[in-house]
């Protein structure tokens, strides 16, 4: 018998959850990776219109985006979920998700964001520079090694790296880099 997981105010069996998240391939991939870790709360950095929110229980999800108009769209489409334009607050959570958001910002900005995020896990999902991009152009193409070095400055170490082909309008290979927070060794 499948385990029952509390989702918002209703319960679903594991097969029902998988069926729901597989409706949207990319969201389903993110949901599967996150469910393997089992965080109690998730912050979606650069959440846009909130497309990933439906993968999570409404009380376990917070979407952040700097674009107030897009946050209002997300609030309208998914009114049971929490969405905010972040201020200078420090956010603490089990897991942060950065799905196609770091491509659009500088390394300096990424460091500023990660300084304000206190997360045990970070999932970065985007095409990497070493992969074939076809006609996809982005502001900052980074390699796996670039991300490993960047995250190390925030005590985040690469735990797992997967590449999945995602079909939306076109097919593209997306890297899913899962980082885990490692506490620094105390000085004796």
138 in any annotated domain: yes
The two structure tokens encoding residue 179: 């980082």
**At residue 151, does pLDDT exceed 70?**
yes
9 in any annotated domain: no
Task: Say which residues have a Cβ less than 8 Å from residue 33's Cβ, sequence separation at least 6.
Answer: 123, 162, 176, 178
Summarize the confidence of residues 129-143 as an average pLDDT. Answer: 56
Q: Which of 28-32, 66-70, 120-124, 184-188 shows the lowest per-residue confidence on average (mean pLDDT)? A: 184-188
| pLDDT value for 4 | 27
| pLDDT value for 24 | 64
155 in any annotated domain: yes
- How far apart CA 166 and CA 14 sit, in angstroms, is 23
List the domain range (segments joined by +) for residue 105: 14-181
120 in any annotated domain: yes
Q: 0.75 exceeded by the pTM?
A: yes
- The full 3-state SS of 128-139, as one line of letters, equals CCCCCCCCCCCC
3 in any annotated domain: no
177 in any annotated domain: yes
Q: How many domains does the chain have?
A: 1
5 in any annotated domain: no
pLDDT over 90, % of the chain: 43
CATH code where residue 72 lies: 3.40.50.150
| pLDDT value for 90 | 87
124 in any annotated domain: yes
Quickly list DSSP for 124-175. EEE--TTS--TT---S----HHHHHHHHHTTTEEEEEEEEEEEESSSEEEEE
Summarize the confidence of residues 53-61 as an average pLDDT. Answer: 90
């Amino acid at each position: 018998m499948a385990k029952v997981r509390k989702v918002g105010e209703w319960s679903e069996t594991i097969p029902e959850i998988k069926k729901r998240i597989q409706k949207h391939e990319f969201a389903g991939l993110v949901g599967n990776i996150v469910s393997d870790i089992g965080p109690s709360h998730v912050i979606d950095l650069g959440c846009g219109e909130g497309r990933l929110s439906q993968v999570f229980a409404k009380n376990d999800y917070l979407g952040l985006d700097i674009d107030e108009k897009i946050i209002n769209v997300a609030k309208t489409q998914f009114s049971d979920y929490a969405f905010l334009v972040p201020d200078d607050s420090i956010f603490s959570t089990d897991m942060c998700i950065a799905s196609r958001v770091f491509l659009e910002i500088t390394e300096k900005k990424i460091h500023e964001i990660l300084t304000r995020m206190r997360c045990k896990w970070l999932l970065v999902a985007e095409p990497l520079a070493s992969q074939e991009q076809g006609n996809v152009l982005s502001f900052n193409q980074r390699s796996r090694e670039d991300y490993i070095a960047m995250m190390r400055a925030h005590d985040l170490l690469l735990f797992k790296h997967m590449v999945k082909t995602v079909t939306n309008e076109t097919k593209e290979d997306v890297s899913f880099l899962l980082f885990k927070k490692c506490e620094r060794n105390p000085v004796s």
